[in-house]
Amino acid sequence: MRDFKKLKVWHKAHELTLDIYKVTRDFPKEEIYGITSQLRRASSSIEFNLSEGCGRESEKELKRFAIISMGSASELECELLLSFDLKYIGNIDYKRLEKKTIEVKKMLSSFIVKLRN
C-alpha cells in the first residue's frame, strides 16, 4: 500500500481537477449534466483512480489503475477541445488546461513505465 499524497502525479492531477471545476462554473447551465459533468468526472477520475490503486495490495493493481487514469486524461483532453470548439472556454484557458493535461499524461506514462520494471 502506498500513500497517494506522496505521488507528484497525484498532486498535478488534483490541481488540474480544481482548475477544471473553476473553469466549468461559467459553462452554460444547460450543460450541467452534459459537458460540465463529463469534464469534472474525467478530471477527478485521474486522481481517484491513482488513489484507489495506491490502496490496493500490489504494484500490478496500481499499474492497472494508473492505466485507467491515463484513459481518463485522454478523455479530458478531448472534452477540453470540444469545450473550446463550442466556445465554452477561451483560447487562454484552453491552452493552459491542455498543457496541464498533457503534463499529467506524461507523468502518468513515466509512472506506468516505472511500475512495469
We report the CATH number of the domain holding residue 20 as: 1.20.1440.60
Global pTM reads 0.94
Total number of residues shown for the chain:
117
Cell numbers that stand for 12 in this block:
498535478
Grouping H, G, I as helix, E, B as strand and the rest as coil, residue 86 is: coil
- Based on the structure, what is the number of domains in the chain? 1
Question: Cβ(66)–Cβ(49) under 8 Å?
Answer: yes
Closest C-alpha to 66, from 46, 44, 39: 46
Q: What is the per-residue pLDDT across 49-102, written as a single tens digit (0 to 9) for each?
A: 999 999 998 999 999 999 999 999 999 999 999 999 999 999 999 999 999 999
The residue segments making up the domain with residue 22 are: 4-116
